[in-house]
């Protein structure tokens, strides 16, 4: 089913032969990426940036029509638009954008372009629902950082495949979303990236809890419980906490193709096809749109 080879003490190479179209070779580096190893900030393509700005705050944005360099520039624009915490420097945000790009694998679907897509959609949903206005600067950054990192180092297979192929040892946690969150903090805490310089301990832990909660909320296995909590909240006329609101927005953005213009949503469809050989443990209920274990 798969071949595993340990290349060196700090590097694990995993070959997945799960389908002819996706015999991917991916590497997982256990060390963090510091700025010394990061590429230069991409040179701005003014024509692409102008084209991107037209649709950047709308659901008509199609990340597949831009280079990853263009998308780095557009990511920075949205971070700035959201209003960054005053303790956070623009150069740290740039290094974070580059570091996360380095840690997104070349998967058919869970790749850098999907990460941009979810980040940008989260921004659009958070502004059009006025959630962004209710969040303070660190909470806004937490929501966007979570969106940016929500599939960090995604192996292109699901939790079931990771377990069946005995790949758990290659991840920080067998729940992939926990791995994404833990690696996000290892990168953000890297002194060369410098996200947390000047932040208080209390603010750091609040930020960490907010980001981790948002990323773990994207786990498909929690969908029924999440939908039930939302139904209870709306049925009883309750007030959502800011954390629940942030988790809801990121979760919605991660599944947002159904609310996008057809030409924007369709390019992603063929990229999910190679995932088909793995029987999903969940089935989408046709009327409630909740996930249930496949009988
Ligand atoms: Zn995702």
31: CA distance to ligand 1 center in Å?
23
The sign of the dihedral angle between the CA atoms of 94, 128, 178, 279 is: negative
β-bridge pairing 11-16 and 25-29: antiparallel
Domains and CATH numbers, the chain: 46-293 (1.10.1300.10)
Q: How far apart are CA 128 and CA 132, in angstroms?
A: 8
236: CA distance to ligand 1 center in Å?
30
**Coil, strand, or helix at residue 295?**
coil
Percent of the chain with pLDDT over 90: 47
Question: For position 166, what pLDDT does the model report?
Answer: 54
- Using CA atoms in the order 121, 231, 174, 277, what is the torsion angle rounded to 10 degrees? -70
For the segment 85-142, what is each residue's pLDDT rounded down to a tens digit?
999 999 999 999 999 998 888 877 888 999 999 999 999 999 999 999 999 999 999 9
Q: What confidence tier does 8 reach under pLDDT thresholds 50, 70, 90?
A: very low
- Residue 8 vs residue 235, higher pLDDT: 235
pLDDT over 50 (residue 289): no
147: CA distance to ligand 1 center in Å?
8
- Residue 170 vs residue 63, higher pLDDT: 63
pLDDT over 80 (residue 19): no
- Mean pLDDT of all residues in the chain? 78
pLDDT over 70 (residue 274): no
For ligand 1, a single-atom ion, the residues with CB < 5 A are 151, 254
pLDDT over 60 (residue 34): no
pLDDT over 50 (residue 199): yes
Question: For position 174, what pLDDT does the model report?
Answer: 57
254: CA distance to ligand 1 center in Å?
5
150: CA distance to ligand 1 center in Å?
6
226 CB-contact burial (10 Å; exposed 0-12 / middle 13-18 / buried 19+) = buried
Q: At what angle do helices 137-149 and 112-128 cross, to 10 degrees?
A: 150
Q: At what angle do helices 201-216 and 137-149 cross, to 10 degrees?
A: 40
Question: For position 233, what pLDDT does the model report?
Answer: 84
103: CA distance to ligand 1 center in Å?
14
Question: For position 230, what pLDDT does the model report?
Answer: 87
CA distances from 48 to 56, 63, 71, 210 (A): 11, 11, 9, 33
């Amino acid at each position: 089913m798969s071949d595993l080879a340990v290349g060196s003490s700090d590097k694990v190479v995993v070959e997945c032969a799960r389908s002819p179209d996706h015999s991917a070779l991916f590497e997982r580096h256990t060390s963090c990426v510091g700025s010394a190893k990061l590429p230069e900030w991409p040179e701005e393509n003014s024509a692409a940036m102008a084209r991107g700005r037209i649709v950047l705050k709308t659901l008509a944005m199609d990340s597949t029509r831009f280079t990853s360099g263009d998308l780095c520039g557009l990511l920075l624009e949205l971070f700035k638009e959201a209003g960054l915490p005053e303790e956070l420097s623009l150069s740290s945000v740039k290094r974070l954008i580059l570091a996360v790009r380095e840690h997104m694998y070349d998967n058919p679907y869970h790749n850098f372009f999907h990460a941009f897509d979810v980040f940008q959609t989260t921004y659009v949903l958070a502004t059009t629902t006025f959630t962004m206005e209710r969040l303070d600067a660190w909470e806004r950054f937490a929501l966007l950082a979570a969106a940016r990192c929500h599939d960090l180092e995604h192996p292109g297979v699901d939790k079931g495949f990771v377990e069946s192929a005995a790949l758990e040892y290659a991840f920080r946690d067998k729940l992939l979303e926990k791995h994404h969150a833990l690696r996000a903090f290892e990168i953000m805490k890297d002194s060369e990236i410098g996200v947390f310089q000047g932040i208080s301990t209390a603010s750091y832990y609040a930020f960490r809890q907010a980001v981790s909660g948002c990323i773990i909320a994207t786990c498909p296995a929690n969908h029924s419980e999440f939908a039930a909590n939302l139904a209870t909240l709306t049925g009883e006329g309750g007030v959502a906490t800011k954390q629940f609101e942030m988790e809801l927005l990121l979760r919605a953005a991660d599944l947002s193709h159904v609310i996008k213009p057809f030409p924007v949503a369709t390019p992603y469809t063929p990229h999910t096809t190679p995932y088909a050989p793995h029987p999903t443990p969940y089935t989408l209920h046709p009327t409630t749109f909740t996930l249930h274990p496949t009988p």
